[in-house]
Structure 1
Amino acid sequence: MPIRLLIVDDSLFFRRALREVFSSDPRLEVVGEASNGRQAVLKACELKPDIITMDVEMPIMDGISAVRRITDRCPTPILMLSALTKAGAEATLDALDAGAVDFFPKNGDDPEDTLARSGRRLCSRVRMLALRSQRESGSGGAGAGARSETPPAASEPRQRGGRSAPSGFLSRQGLVVIGASTGGPAAVPAVLGKLPTDFPVPIVIAQHMPGAFTGPFAQRLNDSMPIRVIEASDGEVLRPGTAYVIPGGKHGELAGRHGAYKLNLRAPVADEHYRPSVSLAFSSAARVAGDDLLAVVLTGMGDDGAEGARQVTAARGHVWAQDQATSVIYGMPAAVAKANLAESILPLGQIGAAIGGALR
């Protein structure tokens, strides 16, 4: 049976555009539409869809309030459709805090054109999130007969080390680089929040996220995390105990020398799909930090980070990956683990404390 969707948006034209995109995929079925948050709550509980796409700005009840009520009354995976603006970013991050599982950007100037160009990616994202939720709940309902969207490496592979993380290998001149994609906006704070307040090593974060989102994301982290967090600038000299979020839509490359690191930013070229690239951040960090580097791969679709992890391992650095059970999408961590590059595979809740324990 196909995956059942509920579309929530106050624009009739955009709902029609979404329905057309989803109708092009035989594995998806639109079972209902809602034009405001109140309708969304009622239809979510009545229709029990496998996943909901949700707008933010709507009359009667906004998307953030609807997410909270749906999460409370009839929990369902919710994918926010977000405007590529600072206000859209703030609202989307509020929705993720309220219980939404992920977001997908839409161009505020011409959202239908955005769908025409990225419809296949949107369908893939919807399928992955819905099927992941079904596997978690053991659901045998709608979608149970759908072809699995789990990446080939989704079973927990053999790794170089064990599930427990080694300790005492990172000096105060070392470096930590964290890569994440789908599910990262919740996973990254879960990691940083477990660090000690006096953590002395700089951290670089490569999170797949639009450019309008990374500034508000970094500010939220800075307001709530035990360490300082900022959006990086080009040529940024990395300070101890500070986390630097690479701006969305750009690449971050580590330069300098061991213990005196600098982060350079550059625009991607046409064939560089991941922006920022986790692999590029990892490989450039390996060149300057060598064996005094910890690279952490968190939840995300695709395989970004795998090639960079190979360079970290070749430089005798350390690679950790989030485990399947706690990943929203077990794609990026699975690619690293399948290639036998992960020294440790850890539940999300253990990674932050383990990073603190890595100091010698």
Structure 2
Amino acid sequence: MSIDLAAASHPVSTSGERIRIMVVDDSAIIRGIISRWIEAETDMVVAASCRTGLDAVNQIERINPDAVILDIEMPDMDGITALPLLLAKKRDLVVIMASTLTLRNAEISLKALSLGAADYIPKPESNHLGGADTFRHELVQKIRHLTARLVRRRVPSPPLAPSAAPSALAAHAAAPFAPAKFSLRPFHKTRPQALLIGSSTGGPQALTALAAGLAPVVDRVPVLITQHMPPAFTTILAQHIGRASSRPAQEGVEGQIVKPGNIYIAPGGLHMRVGRQGGNVAIALDDGPQINFCRPAVDPLFMSAIDVWRGDLLAVILTGMGSDGMRGGKDIVAAGGNVIAQDEATSVVWGMPGAAAQAGICSAVLPLNQIGQKIQKILSGDFS
């Protein structure tokens, strides 16, 4: 068995405040690099590193980590086989799939999301660590955000004063995490000429679920989506959304004419915008600097759409880290359009939709399963 346990100074109990991570990868180089990055964070600790999925499954109950970084391709037991076994032993385990940038691994990673993985991350090759800084930043941020609810649950509440009544003590102990407060603005009563969607962490699952109810919408207006994703992954995502919606879905292509009846996804690694091309609307792609630490980013799509359709827009901001889409959403509202955000309870990470809600630009903040119906109502002219 190839497993390196954490130092004895880090107890197996999860009563501490640090996030406990298990690193599972058959490359000793990758395990070492990821472990060093994690140990450099003051709120994280490597509980164990394993060479195979089988090692991880055999050790998961004893190590009791909060999160697992799980490689896809490993000997003895690969990541996709280990995933359901790990989740069966620890239901609230946060699993982040790590894979190289290939179409096959992109397909496996998206399948893993449907099996209960929280997210995925494309890892640098062990013999070519270009882009390692970006990978490190993304990995650390995903661990921190995806385990936030676990950490909140186990951090003890501060004690009440001795004079507190028993009933108050009980209420204090049972008090749930308070959702963020925000205010909604009235809908602008203009029918959209295009539907724009932005998403990040948790987005592939949310987009696939939403797409199933979007078929009538797609027939009326073009749907343009920016999901924070690397190359290859967006190719597979487009296929999944196409199957779920039963409508043509594809990565956007430079100069492509935008038409109702179609879904366009920003290609991984490229910003996607829209612009006028004669009497038509066409897609424009570029590999310029990251915006909001992302490429593709949501804001370029949102802002460019205003130049084309003015305020006749409906923007939807789904689950994701950060605040991408908030600035563009603010401009859409100022132009006379509307913004809907996914609610906190159904978001994997309430960063992007939360930023939009707390900025006061949303006319609705809804559970994922209600967003599709609301979009259909708005496209029919019903703003109630």
Find the aligned partners of 2:226 and 2:327 in 1 and give their Cα distance: 15
Shift of 1:258: 12
Q: Report the 3-state secondary structure (helix = DSSP H, G, I; strand = E; otherwise coil) of the residue aligned with 2:122.
A: strand
Contact kept, 8 Å, 2:356 with 2:362, in 1: the verdict is yes
Aligned pair partner of 1:256 in 265, 276, 296: 276
Q: Report the 3-state secondary structure (helix = DSSP H, G, I; strand = E; otherwise coil) of the residue aligned with 1:299.
A: coil
Letter matched to residue 89 of structure 1: A
Contact kept, 8 Å, 1:321 with 1:345, in 2: the verdict is yes
1:212: which partner in 2?
232
Q: Report the 3-state secondary structure (helix = DSSP H, G, I; strand = E; otherwise coil) of the residue aligned with 1:313.
A: helix
Shift of 1:223: 2.5
Shift of 1:45: 2.7
Matched, 1:337 2:352: no
Provide the identity percentage. 35
1:159: which partner in 2?
184
2:209: which partner in 1?
190
Find the aligned partners of 1:36 and 1:276 in 2 and give their Cα distance: 33
What is the number of equivalent residue pairs in this alignment? Answer: 343
Matched, 1:170 2:186: no
When the two chains are superposed, the root-mean-square deviation of aligned CA atoms in Å is 2.6
Contact kept, 8 Å, 1:182 with 1:328, in 2: the verdict is yes
Find the aligned partners of 1:342 and 1:186 in 2 and give their Cα distance: 22
Find the aligned partners of 1:229 and 1:259 in 2 and give their Cα distance: 23
Q: Report the 3-state secondary structure (helix = DSSP H, G, I; strand = E; otherwise coil) of the residue aligned with 2:316.
A: strand
Aligned pair partner of 2:145 in 103, 113, 128: 128
1:150: which partner in 2?
none
Q: Bigger radius of gyration, 1 or 2?
A: 2
Task: Note the 1:31-110 alignment, pairs <5 A.
Answer: 31-75=47-91, 76-108=93-125, 110=127
The gaps in structure 2 that reach 5 residues or longer are: 1-16, 159-178
Q: Which has the higher contact order (CA 8 A, sep 6+)?
A: 1
Task: Note the 1:202-351 alignment, pairs <5 A.
Answer: 202-256=222-276, 260-269=280-289, 273-351=293-371
Shift of 1:124: 2.2
Between 182-191 and 64-73, the greater mean CA deviation after superposition: 64-73
Find the aligned partners of 1:219 and 1:13 in 2 and give their Cα distance: 34
Q: Report the 3-state secondary structure (helix = DSSP H, G, I; strand = E; otherwise coil) of the residue aligned with 1:337.
A: helix
Q: Report the 3-state secondary structure (helix = DSSP H, G, I; strand = E; otherwise coil) of the residue aligned with 1:237.
A: coil
Between 39-48 and 287-296, the greater mean CA deviation after superposition: 39-48
Between 80-89 and 193-202, the greater mean CA deviation after superposition: 193-202
Deviations 1:171-204 (A, max 9, x none): 5xx1000001111111111111122457321100
2:43: which partner in 1?
27
Shift of 1:318: 0.7
Distance 1:97 1:316, change over 3 A: same
Find the aligned partners of 2:376 and 2:279 in 1 and give their Cα distance: 18
Deviations 1:188-243 (A, max 9, x none): 11111122457321100001101221111111222232322111111111221211
- The normalised TM-score by structure 2 is 0.82
Find the aligned partners of 1:24 and 1:338 in 2 and give their Cα distance: 32
- The normalised TM-score by structure 1 is 0.88
The gaps in structure 1 that reach 5 residues or longer are: 146-153
